[in-house]
Chains A and B, each alone.
Chain A
Amino acid sequence: MTIYNFYLFDREGQLLHYAEWIRKKQSGMARDEEAKLMYGMIFSIKSFVTKVSPVDLREGYLTYTTNKYRLNLYETPSRYKFILNTDIHAQGIKELLHQIYTQVFVEYVVCNPLCPLTKPIESELFAAKLEEVVKQSPAYASRPA
């Protein structure tokens, strides 16, 4: 099991933070272009899923899986989107994303009045804590062979 990379978007679709741990293949485009594509895809998947769903959808958690990786999206009621790419066997990612929201984002960005909420996060403390929380998670610990 492993964790590849992380995106955080605000309600307007702006990329607030990007972090990566293992990424063997780069997309070959600028980070902001990639972020736009990512957000656009998430946006489309969300509206598609809501329209096509045969039952009422209420949860703010969504994942899709390819045969190589899994994308995990956690969306707060205030529309912040936390995206984590992991391998397909990773467990407990929903809890990890919730933990990133409550213990890293809220503590070190929202409770920091010097961090604007609509600009990319510059706080080094935030980046350091994110790193810490992800590296402590069991999903990160066991590397693939």
Chain B
Amino acid sequence: MSRQSMRANDPKKVSGELFTLTYGSLIAQLLKDYENVDDVNRQLERMGYNIGMRLIEDFLARANPGRCYDLRDTADKIQQAFKLYLGVSPSIGSWSPGGDEFSVVLETNPMAEFVELPDHCLGLRYSNILAGVIRGACEMVQLEVMAWFIADQLKGDNVTEIRVKFVKRLEDAIPAGED
């Protein structure tokens, strides 16, 4: 019980460097395993998706945020989740006129400290795992979204920017009928 009560008030903290370096070695290994950077991007997105599917439960249990009723709600909660898990507060902005698309802007990217991209992997989206996490987590709460990077500090942009687009609302599964 001590473990849980500790977690409830103060989420267990680990050194950010440990996380960043572990992620770095994952990328290095993926680059070795797949020669093509596009494949690496795809793998990262898939891994992120798998993490997101489970992470959402932890987020719901800890932050108890309730259900989202519109996309602005969702954006706020994504912001809150970044704070909880990565210790950074991204800003939300650049809403599309239809209100179905927004950007998550990170001033600093905690996943990419100590990183320099070598020339031969300029196509690599280093933090692509985050896009997968957002997609996986949203899918579990009946929101199909697309998430992708449009700016990356590693590639000389000022900020790191993830674009999130609402695709559709997923419906409740109907129970399997009697045969």
A102 to B62, CA, bound (A): 7
Q: Is the CB of B61 within 8 A of A13?
A: no
Q: Is the CB of A78 within 8 A of B173?
A: no
Q: Is the CB of B173 within 8 A of A11?
A: yes
User: In this assembly, does A101 line the interface, its C-beta being within 8 Å of a C-beta of chain B?
Assistant: yes
User: In this assembly, does A39 line the interface, its C-beta being within 8 Å of a C-beta of chain B?
Assistant: yes
A36 to B176, CA, bound (A): 8
Known: A78-B141, A101-B61. A107 touches B4 (CB 8 A): yes
Q: Is the CB of B172 within 8 A of A40?
A: no
Q: Is the CB of A110 within 8 A of B54?
A: yes
State how many angstroms separate the Cβ of A31 from the closest Cβ of chain B.
16
Q: Is the CB of B67 within 8 A of A77?
A: yes
User: In this assembly, does B174 line the interface, its C-beta being within 8 Å of a C-beta of chain A?
Assistant: yes
A98: which B residues are within 8 A, CB to CB?
64
State how many angstroms separate the Cβ of B32 from the closest Cβ of chain A.
23
Does more than half of chain B's interface fall in helix, strand or loop, or is it mixed?
A: loop
Q: Is the CB of A78 within 8 A of B57?
A: yes
Q: Is the CB of B141 within 8 A of A77?
A: yes
B60: which A residues are within 8 A, CB to CB?
76-78
State how many angstroms separate the Cβ of B172 from the closest Cβ of chain A.
7
| B contact residues, total (Cβ < 8 Å) | 25
Known: A12-B173, A13-B173, A43-B175. A79 touches B142 (CB 8 A): yes
Q: Is the CB of B4 within 8 A of A103?
A: yes
Chain B minimum-CB-distance residue to A115: B54
B67: which A residues are within 8 A, CB to CB?
58, 60, 77
A19: which B residues are within 8 A, CB to CB?
none
A11: which B residues are within 8 A, CB to CB?
172-173
Mark B51-72 against chain A: 1 for CB-CB distance below 8 A, else 0: 0011011101110111111000
A140 to B139, CA, bound (A): 36
State how many angstroms separate the Cβ of A138 from the closest Cβ of chain B.
16
User: In this assembly, does B140 line the interface, its C-beta being within 8 Å of a C-beta of chain A?
Assistant: yes
State how many angstroms separate the Cβ of A75 from the closest Cβ of chain B.
10
A111 to B4, CA, bound (A): 13
B176: which A residues are within 8 A, CB to CB?
13, 36
What residues make up the interface of A, taking CB atoms closer than 8 Å to B? Answer: 11-13, 36, 39-40, 43, 58, 60, 76-80, 98, 101-103, 105-107, 110-111, 113, 117
The 4 closest A-B pairs by CB, nearest first: A102-B61, A110-B57, A106-B61, A13-B175
What residues make up the interface of B, taking CB atoms closer than 8 Å to A? Answer: 4, 8, 53-54, 56-58, 60-62, 64-69, 140-142, 172-176, 178
